[in-house]
Amino acid sequence: MIHRLEPLLNPRSIAFVGASSKEGRIGGMPISLITRYGYEGKVFPVNPKYEEVFGLPCYTDIESIPQPVDLAVLAIAASDVLAMLKRCHAVGVKAAIVYAAGFAEEGEAGAALQNEVELFADASGMAVAGPNCMGFANLNTQAHTAFASVFNTSSMQQGAGHVSLLTQSGNVCAAVYGLLRQLDVPVSHFINTGNEACVEFSEYLEYLAEDPDTDVVVGYIEQLRNGPRFLAACETLRQRDKMLIALKAGTTAKGAAAVQSHTSALAGDRRVYQAVFEQANVIEANDFAQMALLAQLARLRHRTAGRRVAVITMSGALGAILADRFIDAGLDLPDLPADVQAVLRKGIPDYGMVGNPVDVTGNVVNNPGFVHEVLAVLANTDALDAVVIYAPGYMLDRMADSIAAVAAEYPRFMAAIDTGKAATRDMLRDAGVAVFDDLGRAVSALGPFLLWQERRRCAALSPAFKTGMNAVAPAQVLVADSSAFPISTTVTETQALNYLSRFGVPVKEMSSAHSLDDARVQAAALGYPVVLKIVSPDIAHKTEVGGVVLNVRTETELEQKYRDMMARIAQLAPEARLEGVLVQKMETSGVELIVGARRDPVFGPMLTVGLGGVLTELYQDVRHSLLPVNADRVQALLRELIAFPLLDGYRNAPPADLAAACDAIVALGDAMVAAPANVNEVEVNPLLVRRKGDGAVALDALIVTGN
Amino acid sequence: MIHRLEPLLNPRSIAFVGASSKEGRIGGMPISLITRYGYEGKVFPVNPKYEEVFGLPCYTDIESIPQPVDLAVLAIAASDVLAMLKRCHAVGVKAAIVYAAGFAEEGEAGAALQNEVELFADASGMAVAGPNCMGFANLNTQAHTAFASVFNTSSMQQGAGHVSLLTQSGNVCAAVYGLLRQLDVPVSHFINTGNEACVEFSEYLEYLAEDPDTDVVVGYIEQLRNGPRFLAACETLRQRDKMLIALKAGTTAKGAAAVQSHTSALAGDRRVYQAVFEQANVIEANDFAQMALLAQLARLRHRTAGRRVAVITMSGALGAILADRFIDAGLDLPDLPADVQAVLRKGIPDYGMVGNPVDVTGNVVNNPGFVHEVLAVLANTDALDAVVIYAPGYMLDRMADSIAAVAAEYPRFMAAIDTGKAATRDMLRDAGVAVFDDLGRAVSALGPFLLWQERRRCAALSPAFKTGMNAVAPAQVLVADSSAFPISTTVTETQALNYLSRFGVPVKEMSSAHSLDDARVQAAALGYPVVLKIVSPDIAHKTEVGGVVLNVRTETELEQKYRDMMARIAQLAPEARLEGVLVQKMETSGVELIVGARRDPVFGPMLTVGLGGVLTELYQDVRHSLLPVNADRVQALLRELIAFPLLDGYRNAPPADLAAACDAIVALGDAMVAAPANVNEVEVNPLLVRRKGDGAVALDALIVTGN
């Protein structure tokens, strides 16, 4: 099946409406490029003022073009766009690019105009790119529709490109293109999405995921408008062994404000995007140079790799620095196995290092046979995933033949860092070795690349990951009774706990008392100490009105504290309808977690887990995941918490019931996925995790509803 | 006074012992460089094999040189070094450089040899550099003594240099030198310290701090051997308005192991170094490119600057990205004041941004008068410290005259980032504008540079900072009775609390009971609930033997728990000498801090403050400072804690007594500074900070002694 964006991204014929014969004009630059670089499709300039543009016959209007047109490029004012789109559609044009600004980014009138364009595009099925975009380029066919001076200032590629740019900013697209060309990386698609009125980021990504000319997508994202489609495209990328590198803007409050001002996009929550990127194995980048280096590295993605790196230097200092930087970047430098060390020690003098980092010392470069032996053993041991060699200038040159030979013999990923001016850089690149000229940049590219390689391997193994990514419905689907959740009012704790328990969340045994006598009887039955909590649909935050009393130890205390609580509530919430008092047995030990699930506006149901208590908010020690999840995935999230040791027998404490905690969290996630649409948030705080074998239990729950 | 390193670093005459006529040999390369680049001092090659070396008469031995020699460079084997040093000294040579490896870095025999060299240097007063070093270069006099091929592969500078390299690795020295030359930054001193047998890092730094040819020091540090001298040199740098940029290696466990293997140096604690660097306003760098850019930036350090940055772009996307990156780097993008926004809005269309980041939109570049007006108002407002302009290629060129004019009119720091190929980069640099060609590198240099500027301003204002740095003795000096602290045994809690209270640390009222009856009487006098703690010089960790019982609520409970505690201790620590039981009133509310002071082996007494409790160790939310401190400094440290809000009225809790906490911590610091030499560590855990007005109190204390 041909993707509907094919005429837009790989057109066989292009009309330029508003064509100009001046290279410096918007209507002229793309035609100049397209004629200069030999696009083989048909090109039809349209402008009643000209007979000819850049040697091509120019047409009076779109209707007078005698042949079918795939793509119309509209270099005309915003106010003329809608009418022209209709005329294009009438003569069978399948796609259009709208340069004009003056739409949603410019107030209400612009937004109304954009809305009309959107409605027409939807109804007609035309693939309309922009508005407010810079135009595209398909560098493999030289189909230029972009007015970007970077095509004049950068060298035009010779070979076929497999790196596609997909950005929500024309300036970013041009800046990264320039850097890719500086690295001599050929490009396939140059796409900047503009206002995304009719075609949004994820649809382009979907196209590129299937595009045989794209192996790598370099993305710039301000806002995703369709999370599920984005995730589906990421899954296709994964299946096709392609890489997505993305810079997400608006990760700080100031950046988010700038994003919103830029294209009225909402930047969303940094941590949600980070969690989604990690789960979908998207490499999150921070700057343009790093993006370009990662795109260059991608050609080596079929070599075996992962986080366990051996660092080889001729300098103890450089070994130390690289160890620090690689570990800071999330990689490991495992100690080398004894048999590997033994091979190294045969030729490395005592003052060199055979651990990791390895300091082979300077003289070794004069012994290429030994260099080969060292690299071969490092390329072969199961204890490693990657080998990085730091050798400046002539040092690298002397080792280069050995490095290239080992790269040919073993599939393991190898990289060289040369801060000098080695003559063998290109030879090594041709041999399948990554070569960097700067230490900081090497680390900034290798860190994410090697972790991507590792996650790619794990993703292929872990059903939990795929389950999370594909948003498959949970095994246990209960049809919830949506009438149980009145919109925009508070669901009581009892209702919330009841709902969660239906999905398998273990909840604390409790009873509802409607009088002091009632409470006294129930407390005696449960056994002291107990907890008292007010039940009212009008009180969402019970502690704020003194509606929770912990550690009631005796019947005498119960009487006193029951009365005190009722008096406080009568004073602080006199209007609240009271449905009674919850009596629970007090739990005195265990680890408290906070577990929440909410409907993210972009990605849908998301889980949050963290350590409970007053410090959660300050330390932000929480992890997020797409829902649903399985127990393995939850355990992985919990293990990423800095506070995880508290669950794992910290300071001689007994280990907590991790398995029970995971099951309870999976159940909460299922409850969110199955919840009626008016449920925005489900939270258990705390989920008390008792010692191993004793289970976990939800002590309190909150369900937030809304429109 | 002439510094004793003058003959080493600025020699008027140099003898090369082991001179060679081959440029590729260690004994030849520096003579080749020195003759090629026109060193004006005397040069005396020494080698009986040659009549002449690089056109210079060669001498048979050091004794036959007819003129005084400042510096002898020894290109001879390790085993010959000591004897040659003696001969050099005998003929009046003042300094020597020892290239040879085979000393402390190579096992016991080498260490013994190095020790002999060290003893001779100390006794003779000769300034002996190395051993195991690459040699130096004074680029302003072209006094070359280094065998570093980077002098052949990099272009030799024309003008006078003011950036000195001071590294604990020859390879790092060469790598950073190469990058500085790529940026066309001229260098003054090229120093790599080798094994530092006789001259260590801080002594070189001391020289450079006073050196009129050095404004900036670029350092690489594996281990500092003399913390106080380092701090004193930093203070001189501060007074002379010079900058120290340092990369500290061994900040991870693997890096530290590599450092130790490299030159048997101990890398020390990352957090201690970070605290010291921050206090001494040393810029901590992560990679070589960043170091070189920072050194280049230093020439603009006399422009006014600080963390409050305005970002100007022609692209909303770039504004968002730069906002994210600058904020991640610790800078601020304050909202612009209304009057500034009003000026901007006059010429910026509605879809542009007049907040911060500012998106002036692309058309503005065609209106240089307005660009000038915008930049002038940003360069003048009190709401900002620095202005950063992102404009690629021709966009920057069109604004360049306006930028240069404003840079001439106002002293405010200004930087431009051009990811295109602007023709005006050099013109802007000459005008005093920093110019970067890469976004990530711009941020990595501007972040630390602007924070350095701000700390420099604060350092000049804050006596606390200076007090901390100068290690002035505390105002209240008590002569401690060192006999109170037996070496290598445990000081009891009572002794520790008594010692601390003499310095003004408020300690909990307590009484020592010697029997159950005693305890009963004292508990009644204090009022329940109380705490019981065992007192024994043989029990350092009381909780491990059940020697602490909290929250004893009644006399009945007291009797039971007293007996239980004694039974546990009899079982778990049967040999311990018991001195009684401490009875304290139980505190039931307040915020618990952990406060410690220990003798750092490099920097001396250091303070650590953090939130108390089980999570301290996991979250590592602690801050360090040199001692002594004053209350302002302590408050600044506490405010840097992520958990600080707990002290400041978190979630409607009453604010804690911050002033009392600060006073207690100052007192603990003074107690450490005044403590006898056998005290290694003093800790109060917890320091309970009660609500404002109710003070703070040490509930437990520990003093660790040793040799």
Residues of B in contact with A393 (CB under 8 A): 149, 153
Q: Do B172 and A621 touch (CB under 8 A)?
A: no
Q: Please list, in sequence order, all residues whose beta carbon lies within 8 angstroms of the beta carbon of residue B594, skipping any fewer than 6 positions away.
A: B608, B609, B610, B611, B612, B616, B622, B683, B684, B685, B686, B687
Which A residues 342-361 touch B at CB under 8 Å? 350-351, 353, 355-357, 359
B residues 408-447 closer than 8 Å to A (CB): 419-421, 438-441, 443-444
Quick check: A126 and A7 in contact, CB under 8 A? no
Q: Does any CB of chain B come closer than 8 Å to the CB of residue A621? A: yes
Strands B696-698 and B591-600: unpaired
Cα dihedral A363→A367→A370→A371 (10° resolution):
70
What confidence score (pLDDT) does residue A490 get?
Answer: 66
Interface touch B254/A356, C-beta < 8 Å: yes
**pLDDT above 80 for A475:** no
How sure is the predictor about B479, in pLDDT bands with cuts at 50, 70 and 90?
A: very low
Measured between CB atoms, does B260 come within 8 Å of chain A? no
How many CA atoms lie less than 13 Å away from A453 in the CB half-sphere? 24
Interface of A with B in 77-136 (CB under 8 A): 101, 105-107
pTM for the complete prediction?
0.91
Kindly provide the residue ranges of all beta strands, DSSP E only, lying in A207-331, ordered along the sequence.
Answer: 216-221, 243-248, 283-284, 309-313
Q: Are A529 and A572 in contact (CB under 8 A)?
A: no
pLDDT in tens, A275-305: 999 999 999 999 999 999 999 999 999 999 9
In angstroms, the separation between the Cα of residue B104 and the nearest Cα of chain A is 10
Ranges A129-143, A341-355, B154-168: which has the least confidence: A341-355
Confidence of residue B305 (pLDDT cuts 50, 70, 90): very high
Per residue in A137-180, pLDDT (tens digit) is: 999 999 999 999 899 999 999 999 999 999 999 999 999 999 99
Give the pLDDT mean for A16-35: 94
- Asked if B249 lies within 8 A of A324 by C-beta distance, the reply is yes
Q: Which two tokens stand for residue A455?
A: 């996650």
Residue B59 DSSP class: B
Q: CB–CB of B598/B561 below 8 Å? A: no
What ipTM is given for this predicted complex? Answer: 0.91
Which residues lie below 8 Å from residue B613, measured CB to CB, with a gap of 6+?
A: B592, B686
pLDDT at A465: 42
pLDDT tens across B406-456, in order? 999 999 999 999 988 899 999 999 999 999 999 999 999 999 999 999 998
- Contact assignment for B288 to A420 by CB distance below 8 Å: no
- What does B499-533 look like in DSSP terms, one character per residue? HHHHTT--B--EEEESSHHHHHHHHHHH-SSEEEE
Q: Which of B287, B317, B393 sits opposite A249 (nearest CB)?
A: B317
Residue A316 phi, psi (nearest 5):
-60, -35
Residue-averaged pLDDT of chain B? 90
- Parallel, antiparallel, or unpaired for β A95-98 and A591-600? unpaired
Which of A149, A333, A351 is nearest residue B106 as measured by Cβ atoms?
A351
A71 near A145, Cβ under 8 Å? Answer: yes
A650:B614 CB<8 A: yes
Show Cβ contacts of residue B332 under 8 Å, excluding neighbours closer than 6 positions.
B307, B308, B309
Kindly list the structural domains of chain A, giving each domain's residue range(s) and its CATH number in brackets, ordered by start.
Answer: 1-133 (3.40.50.720), 148-301 (3.40.50.261), 302-453 (3.40.50.261), 509-585 (3.30.1490.20), 591-705 (3.30.470.20)
Which tokens belong to B394? Answer: 């021709």
- Tell me whether A312 touches chain B (CB under 8 Å): no
Whether residue B707 is predicted with pLDDT greater than 80 in this model: the reply is: no
Return the residue in A321, A444, A553, A642 with the most chain B beta carbons within 10 A, the one to mutate for interface testing: A321
| Amino acid identity, position B193 | T
Q: What is the average per-residue pLDDT within B70-84?
A: 96
Residue A473: is its pLDDT beyond 70? no
Cβ-Cβ contacts under 8 Å, B438 against chain A: 287-289
- Lowest average pLDDT, out of A358-367, A459-468, A650-659, B128-137, goes to A459-468
Between chain A and chain B, the number of residue pairs with CB atoms below 8 A apart is 236
Cβ-Cβ contacts under 8 Å, B443 against chain A:
287
Structure-block tokens of residue A475? 């095994």
